[in-house]
Amino acid sequence: MGTNIDLIFKIAGVGILTAVLHALLKHAGKEEYAHLATLAGVAIILMWVIDLLGNLFDQVKTVFRLF
């Protein structure tokens, strides 16, 4: 339980950072870099979430004998 709460805060932190970076770059006039930064942030978070999902599905497989 403890490690998961850290992961949630890490994900939310990167999400907020991405949003701020997006707004910052937009005001600086670099619209395309803003979208790239958002994509990068979403990609990082997606990697963590997919890793967590893989972990969940493996555990469900062993618990429910879903081979």
Contacting residues for 41 by C-beta, under 8 A, at least 6 apart: 14, 15, 17, 18, 21
Contact 11, 48 (CB under 8 A): yes
Q: How far is the CB of 34 from another protein (least distance, A)?
A: 12
Provide the minimum distance between the beta carbon of 27 and another protein in the complex, in angstroms, as a whole number.
14
Contact residues: another protein, CB under 8 A? 1, 4-5, 7-9, 11-12, 14-16, 18-19, 22-23, 38, 41-42, 45-46, 48-49, 52-53, 55-57, 59-61, 63-66
